């Protein structure tokens, strides 16, 4: 499968962020697979056309995929062992802290929709 790694394209930028810029068999997913361009484009659209949030979404998917691989480990510079699933969970959490979530807040500010707000202890009958 040919993958997009052009950094002028959002898909290439997402690949760089998640470390999926090398083609099969060196992809970031289990068995060395890569995310397809279509999958990354889906993440990008679902996350409001935001590269950082799309990268977080990809890491969240990687958490679930690597959780099925009990022997996956990552050796860090200080000989630390960490499951790939844990690593991607931490990375997804970090990206979400930095870039947020693509959530629409539905509702009205308090005090609208014909509802009067009174301070504590106030009696509306005294008006």
The 10s digit of each residue's pLDDT in 6-46 is 999 999 999 999 999 888 788 899 989 999 999 999 999 99
Domain positions in the chain are: 10-104
Can you tell me the distance from the alpha carbon of 11 to that of 41, in angstroms, rounded to the nearest whole number? 6
Give yes or no for a contact between 12 and 51, defined as CB atoms under 8 angstroms apart: no
| Sign of the torsion formed by the C-alpha atoms of 63, 23, 14 and 47 | negative
The answer, as to whether pTM is greater than 0.75, is no
């Amino acid at each position: 499968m040919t993958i997009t790694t052009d950094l002028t394209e959002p898909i290439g930028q997402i690949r760089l962020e998640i470390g999926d810029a090398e083609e099969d068999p060196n992809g970031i997913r289990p068995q060395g697979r890569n995310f397809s361009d279509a999958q990354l484009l889906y993440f990008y659209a679902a996350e409001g056309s935001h590269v950082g949030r799309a990268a977080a979404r990809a890491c969240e998917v990687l958490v679930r995929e690597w959780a099925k691989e009990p022997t996956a480990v990552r050796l860090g510079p200080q000989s630390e062992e960490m499951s790939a699933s844990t690593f991607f969970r931490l990375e997804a959490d970090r990206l979400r802290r930095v870039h947020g979530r693509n959530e629409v807040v539905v509702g009205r500010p308090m005090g609208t929709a014909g509802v009067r707000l009174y301070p504590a202890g106030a009696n509306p009958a005294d008006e």
